[in-house]
Structure 1
Amino acid sequence: MQRKDDQETESILTDQCKSTCKPVESRNEFNHNSNKENSVTTGSAFANLHQRKPKPVKSVVPKNRIDLLKWNGWGYKDSQFVVKDGIIHFTGDRYPIGELSLPYFTQFVMDVFKVDLSKRNVPQPLPAPEDFPRPAVAPEFAAGLRGLGISHSVDGVDRLVHAHGHTLRDVFTLRQGRFERIPDVVAWPGCHEEVVALVRLAHEHNVVVIPFGGGTSVSGAVSCPAGERRTILSLDTSQMNRVLWLDGENLLACCEAGIIGQDLERELQSQGFTVGHEPDSYEFSSLGGWVATRASGMKKNLYGNIEDLLVHARTVTPAGVLEKACLAPRVSCGPDLHHLVLGSEGTLGVITEVMLKIRPLPACKKYGSVVFPDFESGVRCLREVARKRCQPASVRLMDNEQFRFGQSLRPVPGCLGHLLDGVKKLYLTRVKRFDPDTMCVATLLFEGEPHQVAQQETLIYALASQFGGIPAGEKNGERGYVMTFIIAYIRDLGLEYNIVAESFETSVCWDRTLSLCENVKHRLAKECKALGVKHYLVSCRVTQTYDSGCCVYFYFALRWTPEHADPLGLYERLEESAREEVLASGGSLSHHHGVGKLRARWFPGQVSAPGVEALLAAKRRLDPRDILACGNLLGSKL
């Protein structure tokens, strides 16, 4: 049971102290399979697929992406940080901070980066049709493509949109430069069979195929190799977005790989189910992309990472279709070939259909938060939570720099809010003697039956108190969770004021977590000083926890000055130093962003020479002409 003083503390700290769970609503718009007669239990995984009636999905993201999304930045066109009368605002009504004035954030930016908000870099306009390089489509391939009747385009804007993901280099180039190479043609297949035909045609004519899902890659995986002279086809899976079938009794769903996260959840929740996979890019990333990059989500503690959710992936290769026949929950029939596809980043095949585990919607969900005196105390607490295997759906710990950054994004409170803020600050600093320069916060999300959520809350808050943690309320937890979807928009604003920024992540064992965080921060500070970078910010958070370790996610931003002739090169040099420090400190090359082309030079050292040869052998067998996503993972070793 929660101690009385802890309950009083939470009452003081929270803006909205409620002990009841928020019910999760669902709608039954159409029936799912809920009896043995309709469930798939034997035979080929897709034997009776087309005997069912797949539900068409109207995606939030249209085929012509720039009708809704920015062509040169992150997210929706109506959602962005802008400066009005010297104060930063956020536009639109899609997010909680929409149409709000953000004076605290404005002051934070000015204090950290010494920015003059009256001097803005105006990004270059969308290129005119005559400014795009002419498509170089092999005549025989073009004729074959027309013969297939698959929707395709050689329009310059379509090709530009499919030439990049969302690395810093991608967005910087869109705003201030030009790509050396863009696709020659874009195709939108509508089903698995059309992908088979496309890949067969591309293999026949030695045409490069780069699979394109949601376009959110931050590893350079969808970029075109600059030196590639063959025709390049961007294969956009976005029109393959149907829920093919749902089996409520066996808790399985089969979907086409192009469906994006928010569409997938909306369709499943309408029937009372959820996948529960919620990466930071959830609004725009695709199901196939999750599998191809071996993705992780914020609620992995409850629902699992993508490899835990995956039952089957249908993958088209030049050598044929890679799939399995049996849907039993576990099969001991040699190595699991799905682990070739997971994390393969399009190099072995195009994922067309994915079968996932699903769960009934939780009866309730509840947010929470805990303030710790310092980052070390928070890490030790999360380690104990992981040791006892009592993690809630999501638990994330921000360091002091990120805590202060997040606090700056809050709107100006009213008179009562100012009073409550003052009381909270006095309580933390005077009564609990927390140092504002070291304190940090963990955000929590609980999901399940009401009694399960109540038990988890009691246990988590009791554990937190053993490490000096103080409950900080539901509203702070919800705000911290939702802010994850807003942070990506900040980079676009920074580029307008000579600030370049990027995130990078790793996984590391518990006994090296603190030293890795300290080493990376120290290395970046040292390198910034040596390169004359005076104004920068580096922060981190623990985002996923495991028995033996955790994922650490870094944000790094710097302001360049006129003496830095190549700000992009400057940033990438510093990030490479940080990556070297991560590896030297016992961290992984990536936890969930993948390798792509950006980190390919480190990949061989992570899997050993025999590992490289094994992957190359699979590549040569499945894709002998190296047409699929060439350059990812293994570079140009084929």
Structure 2
Amino acid sequence: MQKQALRRLKLLEHQILGIKVNNTSSQQKLKDENGNYQTIDLLYREGRNKLDWFKEKGWGFKDTEFVIDDKTGKVGLTGDRYVFSGKLMPDFRTWAESKIGIDIDKIAVAQKAMDVDPPTFNEEFLDSLDYNFSRISFDDKERMMHSHGHCLQDVFSLRYGKFKRFVDCVIYPGSTKHVQKIVELANENNVVIVPYGGGTNVTQALELPDDETRMIISLDMTRMNKIKWVDRANMTACIESGIIGSDLNRELEKYDVVLGHEPDSLEFSSLGGWISTKASGMKKNEYGNIEDIVQAITIVTPTGTFERYNQCPRVSHGPELNHFILGSEGNLGVITECVLRVREVPEAKVYGSIVFPDFDSGTKFMREVGRSKIWPASIRLVDNLQFQFAVALKPESDSRWQTILDKIKKFYVLKIKGFDQESMCACTLVFEGTKEKTDKQQTFIYKLAKEYHGMKAGPENGIRGYFLTFVIAYLRDFACNHNYIAESFEASVPWDKMDKLCYNVKDRVYASARNKGVQGFVFVSCRVTQVYETGCTIYVYFGFSLEGLKDPLHAYEEVEHDARDEILRCGGALSHHHGVGKIRKSFMDEVVGETGIRMLRSVKSELDPKSIMGSRNLFDP
């Protein structure tokens, strides 16, 4: 009788929260008539199960991928979600085959399905849950999806291998109270928790320790996706951590405010993930990095809940406790909600682009922009190889006039201005804010560009460059389909070390790839993606064919490790915004020092003495 009363109270609580209750499922028991644990879905939120729309063996929406058109042999993008969707790129195949060594005729067939190991159960924990969740799943595909992120190692295993360890079940909490109860029970019963947001990390942060014998649960936060309140007087908002970036933007529009935080993974990554990795967005110049936006964080740890919100703009209450949580990568607890700074919807949004005769001219321009502090919301400089890459991806035009106009523009740039197509590079721009502010920024930026022989290249290229960001990962999957590995990584670096870093890392990647037996062309490219007064953020892209490699994944891992080592040698950071995870964990002693590691371990052991927050990112407990 008491258990039935508690269940009725749970259902009443769910209804008070404004969540639709599935009355049929709510009568289900966690075990079926044969004594087997079964999936229960108590609550419905807006949206579907991720398995319904996200690819199982790669990145993004199931309806979107780069393919070879059967009739023309050209590369095209399926679906209707992006600027390039439903269009063919007539020049891309020829360029990719001749410039970066992809053999389009070579097809690498992925495995049909991965073998998923049977789960480990802690019955005392499961039997104590008593409906303190929105959904609990034991489905093998769901367990597999929650056992990986989206770095190349993850994708390679999805296509050709097997994960060493899988989560044993997936639990979706519906409130902070649910999380508190789940964490309390996990701590009592020695069950491991790995928080899950969008699953978009590229650091193996979700890779599970293969020596972990305890039950592992993935705590999927995506049903905690509400905006709890917006305070327009103080321009703050309280938001649950499971909300996905694109949903957050759409919901904030209803209040006529914006967050402005737009990482490359915006469509799929979560607010909690941004905080856990100490993320940065494309428009950080206008809106700040995540640490500039966060005002307060609620985190449930195994030894208690931390939640403090002071509306004052700044306080001096000792060390900033939020900074223990920012970048903690799931080690300390489960982030459930936070208070963020929001802005008015910008009056103006203007795209732009500039072409420079060479990368050296472009980097000098970027350095002066950084020093000036007159920054567009987003400013990115790509080297010649990436410039050619972007040009090759240009969709064919339906307009004969547009085709003629493009030829005239090309003639002007190459023949009249004297730019060399094999050395020129491009800068893409986004200006946001008041019209007065964006007008002043544009005047300054384009005037400065002329001093470095830059030429204004129009808003269309700016728009294409900005939205190309969202299809890069689809291109990586396309490369995998054709027996080619491609990946990117990032770092920040002081201005005076930027040139050396770019050149040395390229040379190190070339040399390392050759040393590992890579044949054919090695693709290496750099771009400057963000500016600061004291330095910038660099992205490095590299790729090569798998042809002739006995262990291609191991070869890739060693090349990436060598490149990261070279970045540190040149004075760059281990990471600017992707975080450490497990890929870069071996470098942590070097970058934070022995005392720093002891400080991190001390916080971990105090908040989580049993180490039930078991991701083991950053450092070993």
Q: Given the two structures, how large is their TM-score scaled by the length of structure 1? A: 0.89
Partner secondary structure for residue 415 of structure 2: helix
1:498 to 483, 486, 491: 483
1:577-624: CA deviation from partner (whole Å, max 9, x where unpaired):
100101101100000000011111111211111111111110000010
**Aligned 8 A contact 1:208 1:232 in 2:** yes
Q: Which residue number corresponds to residue 548 of structure 1?
A: 534
Residue type at the aligned position of 1:283: E
Q: Which residue number corresponds to residue 472 of structure 2?
A: 487
Residue type at the aligned position of 1:252: T
Partner secondary structure for residue 211 of structure 1: strand
1:94 to 47, 63, 81: 81
Partner secondary structure for residue 412 of structure 2: helix
Partner secondary structure for residue 395 of structure 1: strand
Residue type at the aligned position of 1:610: T
Q: Which runs of 5+ in 2 are unaligned?
A: 1-13, 21-42
**Aligned 8 A contact 1:102 1:411 in 2:** yes
1:139 to 100, 112, 123: 123
Matches within 5 A, 1:236-385: 236-385=220-369
Q: Which residue number corresponds to residue 53 of structure 2?
A: 68
Q: Is 1:633 the counterpart of 2:618 in the alignment?
A: yes
TM-fit CA distance, 1:113:
4.0
Residue type at the aligned position of 1:595: V
Q: Which residue number corresponds to residue 40 of structure 2?
A: none
TM-fit CA distance, 1:321:
0.7
Partner secondary structure for residue 488 of structure 1: helix
TM-fit CA distance, 1:325:
4.3
Partner secondary structure for residue 462 of structure 2: helix
TM-fit CA distance, 1:424:
1.9
Q: Which residue number corresponds to residue 77 of structure 1?
A: 62
Residue type at the aligned position of 2:505: V
Distance 1:374 1:558, change over 3 A: same
1:225 to 193, 209, 219: 209
Deviates more, 1:256-265 or 1:148-157: 148-157
CA–CA distance in structure 1, aligned partners of residues 134 and 344 of structure 2: 37
1:37-65: CA deviation from partner (whole Å, max 9, x where unpaired):
xxxxxxxxxxxxx9x98899997752x21
**Aligned 8 A contact 2:486 2:544 in 1:** yes
Distance 1:557 1:59, change over 3 A: farther
CA–CA distance in structure 1, aligned partners of residues 417 and 155 of structure 2: 44
TM-fit CA distance, 1:141:
1.4
TM-fit CA distance, 1:118:
3.1
Matches within 5 A, 1:445-594: 445-533=430-518, 534-561=520-547, 563-594=548-579
Deviates more, 1:499-508 or 1:447-456: 447-456
Distance 1:595 1:60, change over 3 A: farther
Partner secondary structure for residue 489 of structure 1: helix
Deviates more, 1:416-425 or 1:612-621: 416-425
Q: Which residue number corresponds to residue 32 of structure 2?
A: none
CA–CA distance in structure 2, aligned partners of residues 308 and 60 of structure 1: 30
Distance 1:580 1:53, change over 3 A: same
Q: Which residue number corresponds to residue 182 of structure 2?
A: 198
CA–CA distance in structure 2, aligned partners of residues 150 and 365 of structure 1: 39
Deviates more, 1:165-174 or 1:148-157: 148-157
CA–CA distance in structure 1, aligned partners of residues 466 and 505 of structure 2: 25
1:275-299: CA deviation from partner (whole Å, max 9, x where unpaired):
0000000000000000010000000
Q: Is 1:107 the counterpart of 2:94 in the alignment?
A: yes
Distance 1:389 1:53, change over 3 A: farther
1:516-539: CA deviation from partner (whole Å, max 9, x where unpaired):
000000111122223332222111
Distance 1:375 1:58, change over 3 A: farther
Residue type at the aligned position of 1:538: V
CA–CA distance in structure 1, aligned partners of residues 133 and 433 of structure 2: 48
Residue type at the aligned position of 1:374: D
**Aligned 8 A contact 2:133 2:171 in 1:** no
Q: Which residue number corresponds to residue 441 of structure 1?
A: 426
CA–CA distance in structure 1, aligned partners of residues 170 and 588 of structure 2: 29
**Aligned 8 A contact 2:116 2:166 in 1:** no
Residue type at the aligned position of 2:347: A
**Aligned 8 A contact 1:54 1:244 in 2:** no
**Aligned 8 A contact 2:352 2:457 in 1:** yes
TM-fit CA distance, 1:631:
1.5
Give every structure 1 segment of 4 or more consecutive aligned residues whose post-TM-superposition deviation is greater than 4 Å.
52-61
CA–CA distance in structure 2, aligned partners of residues 113 and 277 of structure 1: 33
Residue type at the aligned position of 1:501: A
Residue type at the aligned position of 1:597: K
TM-fit CA distance, 1:201:
0.8
**Aligned 8 A contact 2:102 2:479 in 1:** no
Distance 1:358 1:59, change over 3 A: farther
**Aligned 8 A contact 2:134 2:223 in 1:** no
Q: Which residue number corresponds to residue 33 of structure 1?
A: none
Residue type at the aligned position of 1:554: V
Q: Which residue number corresponds to residue 45 of structure 1?
A: none
TM-fit CA distance, 1:466:
0.7
Partner secondary structure for residue 129 of structure 2: helix
**Aligned 8 A contact 2:19 2:45 in 1:** no
Distance 1:498 1:60, change over 3 A: farther
CA–CA distance in structure 1, aligned partners of residues 106 and 528 of structure 2: 35
Distance 1:461 1:557, change over 3 A: same
Matches within 5 A, 1:46-61: none
**Aligned 8 A contact 1:55 1:244 in 2:** no
**Aligned 8 A contact 2:237 2:340 in 1:** yes
CA–CA distance in structure 2, aligned partners of residues 336 and 590 of structure 1: 21
CA–CA distance in structure 2, aligned partners of residues 306 and 597 of structure 1: 22
Partner secondary structure for residue 305 of structure 2: strand
Distance 1:521 1:180, change over 3 A: same
CA–CA distance in structure 1, aligned partners of residues 17 and 436 of structure 2: 38
Q: Is 1:417 the counterpart of 2:402 in the alignment?
A: yes
Matches within 5 A, 1:157-236: 157-236=141-220
Q: Which runs of 5+ in 1 are unaligned?
A: 1-49
Q: Given the two structures, how large is their TM-score scaled by the length of structure 2? A: 0.91
CA–CA distance in structure 1, aligned partners of residues 234 and 303 of structure 2: 32
**Aligned 8 A contact 1:59 1:263 in 2:** no
Identity of aligned residues (%): 46
Deviates more, 1:101-110 or 1:295-304: 101-110
**Aligned 8 A contact 2:133 2:178 in 1:** no
TM-fit CA distance, 1:494:
0.9
**Aligned 8 A contact 1:341 1:348 in 2:** yes
Partner secondary structure for residue 315 of structure 1: strand
CA–CA distance in structure 2, aligned partners of residues 512 and 406 of structure 1: 27
CA–CA distance in structure 2, aligned partners of residues 526 and 384 of structure 1: 32
CA–CA distance in structure 2, aligned partners of residues 149 and 426 of structure 1: 63
**Aligned 8 A contact 2:51 2:142 in 1:** no
**C-alpha RMSD of the superposition:** 1.8
Distance 1:625 1:168, change over 3 A: same
Aligned length: 581
**Aligned 8 A contact 1:54 1:243 in 2:** no
1:103-140: CA deviation from partner (whole Å, max 9, x where unpaired):
2111121113444423322222234xxx4211101121
CA–CA distance in structure 2, aligned partners of residues 164 and 416 of structure 1: 48
CA–CA distance in structure 1, aligned partners of residues 164 and 157 of structure 2: 10
